[in-house]
Structure 1
Amino acid sequence: MIGAGIGGLAAAIGLRRRGWSVSVLERAPVIAEVGAGLTLWPNAVKALAALGVDVSDRGVPTISRGNILTPGGRWVRRNHPDDVGVLAIHRADLHDVLRKALPESVLHTDTEVTAVTTDGTVRCAGEERRADLVIAADGVNSLTRRTLWSGDAVFQHRTIWRGVTPSGSVWPVRESLSMGRGEQVGVLPLPDERVYWFLTANEPRPNVLYADNQAEVLRRIGTWHHPIPDLVNATPEDQVLHNDMLDIDPVPTFVKDRVVLLGDAAHAMTPDLGQGACQALEDAVVLAAYVDDLARYDSERRARVQPMMAAARAGVARNSDTNALRHLVLLAAARVVPPAAWRKATAQWADWESPVIP
């Protein structure tokens, strides 16, 4: 297993349930997830259950894309009982639960993979290892995908800032999505009276760095409605994260001989659908269930996730649009769309039947 992120750890758990001997190779000196919050949609909760992992005590049940507001605080839409619920969780908490489900002996830190071949040979740390199966869960910039397949990460002219407030600093807070022209701010409560917030915005060039990310966020949305400025101000400056929004073009297969792509290495998409981590968890379950039939893993996962990648790119186009008239039309549609149609539009990817891991 290359990579000890959410997908890599989940796949390791699933394969161990099948009786496989697993080694997880991670280039970082310490296995610890960085990041802020994320949402686990019902499909991800099913995937975790199939893996025997319970994170219900680490998250807050909430609604994603239910409460919609304008930057000035005018309500566009409020949560409806028919909306699909999600579990809001800190990425580090999910990662911690997955890591603790594995024995320390399978985790190998400070081990950077420098080459992979389709016969299952992995070069790292000045030595070669051979495996019956190599699972590349090495992220959007996957070395494995770029060398054995093709396809660098694609910058989508969007960027994201994220943060989590300290416990109780701005509380209580209800979940919301505030929609500006080309900018969106999401707010989700987390356990221990913490709050996860994010800002997505247009960015013409990749790799733009800001000397003070907190100040840059406040420059952009410091006049938006309460409690958005308070949330940003409450987040320690050095904990405001900033990343470009990247995805990849679809690859023709997730399997080459003894090498399998998983998670962002296989199907990185922008966070517009909230399904990135959810799909990595699905990958892990399907791989564990069909590890003896990799062609089935390949076909089922590509059929499931590649339309989702296209939908995420469509979401980028929609969310980056700064045209005033089209923005008003979008807000009007969100206000009047019937609950059933809203549910279908916002949660169409949450319906998924998990296979049983033998």
Structure 2
Amino acid sequence: MRAVIIGAGIAGLTAAKGLRLLGWEVEIYEQAPELKALGAGLSLSANALRALRVLGLYDAVIADAQPIDRLDLLNRQGAVLQTTDFAQFSARYGHLSMVVLHRGALQRALLSELSVPIHTGMECVTACEDEKRVVLTFAGGETVEAEFVLACDGIHSAVRKSLFPDSREHFAKYTCWRAISSGLPRGLSPTRLTETWDAGKRLGLAAIPGEQVYWFACCNADAIADPALSHIGVSELQAMFSDFHDPVPEVLGKTPPDSLIWTDILDIDPLPSFTRGRVVLLGDAAHAVTPDLGQGAGLAIEDAAVLAALLGNHPVNDALREYDARRVGRAHKIAAASRLYAKVAQWHNPLIVPIRNVLVRSIPERFMDRQLDAVLDIAFEPVKAAA
């Protein structure tokens, strides 16, 4: 069987590994002119790590990742509002329950375990399908015919927009900056991830391998591509977060100005299906979620593991029906939970924020653990590797 994958991001590379385990022929078409280690940091939780294990990618990924034992939600002064004990989850699951790493390190790990043709500089602009084939058209006028297509081309997916023209992207009403800072500040534990909430803004810190800190900063926004926000640099962010606890000022101060990545936060309104004929959507192309639960990359990796296992055990059409049955509902639940988290985290009324913080502090740890278990504690069928 031959498959064409659109997009060489996390979803595309992971899915390619799954199909290669089955013995399929795979080609990837990527719009970027070359594959570069772009981006800042990301987290992978137990669900993603389990999916990587069944795909044979776990060891390669965690080799350059920082294990996380604890997530602390803080107020602006640095007082703890809520703690998640990931060390306890790791002990209970019998494997790591969270790691943080550079997005480029994840890309390198996935590429190191993959040997397939990757055609760069190929931007897919439309897709059409019938019962026998899918025709993909690229920006340069080239066309490619395929009997099976995996659309892994991100939140702005041209394949999704061609086959699901009613799909809509949704602005979460906040914007985000990300970067990597050099050096570990005194007192910052490498195994502790923190997220600090204030009125309409927040900031997260996590150590990554190489004596570096991955950080993200968010603030509310009224419109997409606000020119007043698009020109903000590190010095403006230092002023915006100058009243945040240590080591926030030090981390921002050690950030190279040209390393800053700015993005408005979008997700996708829920789709009724992630398949159409012999085309299947994976990752952000299918179910882009806000980053608030740290599940964007994880859901993409889950998609790849589930799809590969199903294709190894069922005819293609049956596998795709079952893929929809397993993935659509789960993705919708996580997308809805992420939206809710964002709304609460980005509350900006200075009179309500202290009340919010008190309520967050009062949530029982056992309740939060049960909510996390529903996201993290899922099983994956083994992928039947070809002889």
**TM-score of the two chains, using structure 2 as the length reference:** 0.87
Task: Check the 8 A contact 2:37/2:104 in 1, yes or no.
Answer: yes
Tell me the CA shift for residue 91 of structure 1: 0.9
Counterpart pick for 1:170 among 185, 204, 219: 185
Matches of 1:21 and 1:60, distance apart in 2: 34
Q: 2:15 matched to 1:11?
A: yes
Correspondence 1:87 to 2:128: no
The one of 338, 347, 368 equivalent to 1:342 is: 368
* Superposed counterparts of 1:149-160, under 5 Å: 149-150=164-165, 151-160=167-176
Give 1:83 deviation, angstroms. Answer: 5.6
Aligned to 2:256: 236
Distance 2:217 2:349 in 1: 19
Q: Provide the C-alpha distance between the structure 2 equivalents of 1:29 and 1:162, rounded to a whole number of angstroms.
A: 23
SS at match of 1:29: coil
Deviation at 1:214, TM superposition (A): 0.9
Q: 2:336 corresponds to which residue? A: 310
Aligned twin of 1:204: 222
- Deviation track 1:222-247 (CA, whole Å, cap 9, x = no partner) reads 22111111111111001011100000
Is contact 1:58-1:93 (8 Å) kept?
Answer: yes
Task: Name the CA distance, whole Å, in 1 between partners of 2:46 and 2:160.
Answer: 29
Partner of 1:106: 117
Report the Cα distance in structure 2 between the residues aligned to 1:343 and 1:324, rounded to whole angstroms: 29
1:281-338, Cα deviation, whole Å (9 max, x unpaired): 0000111111331100111110211111111111222122123343223322332333
- Counterparts in 2 of 1:62 and 1:169: CA distance versus 1, 3 Å: closer
* 8 Å Cα contact 1:70/1:178 also seen in 2: yes
Asked whether the 8 Å contact 2:180–2:212 carries over to 1, the reply is yes
Task: Name the CA distance, whole Å, in 2 between partners of 1:114 and 1:79.
Answer: 43
Which of 301, 304, 308 matches 1:284? 304
Task: Give the direction of change, closer, same or farther, for the CA distance of 1:271–1:63 in structure 2 (3 Å limit).
Answer: farther
Does the 8 Å contact 1:116/1:123 carry over to 2?
A: yes
Paired residues of 2:207 and 2:214 also in contact (CA < 8 A): yes
Cα gap change, 1:83/1:286 in structure 2, threshold over 3 Å: closer, same or farther? closer
Structure 1 segments unaligned to the other structure (5+ residues): none
Q: How far apart are residue 117 of structure 1 and its match? A: 1.1
Partner of 2:93: none
For 1:314-329, list aligned pairs within 5 A.
314-329=340-355
Alpha-carbon separation, structure 2, partners of 1:69 and 1:83: 21
Q: Secondary structure at the match of 1:314?
A: helix
Report the RMSD for the aligned CA atoms in angstroms.
Answer: 1.8
Match of 1:144 in 2: 159
Partner SS for 1:58: coil
Distance in 2 (alpha carbons) for counterparts of 1:305 and 1:173 = 34
Q: How many equivalent residue pairs?
A: 355
173, 182, 192: which one pairs with 2:210? 192
Match of 1:132 in 2: 147
Which segments of 5 or more consecutive residues in structure 2 lack a partner in the other structure?
91-96
CA distance in structure 2 between the partners assigned to 1:213 and 1:140 by the alignment: 25
User: Corresponding residue for 2:128?
Assistant: 117
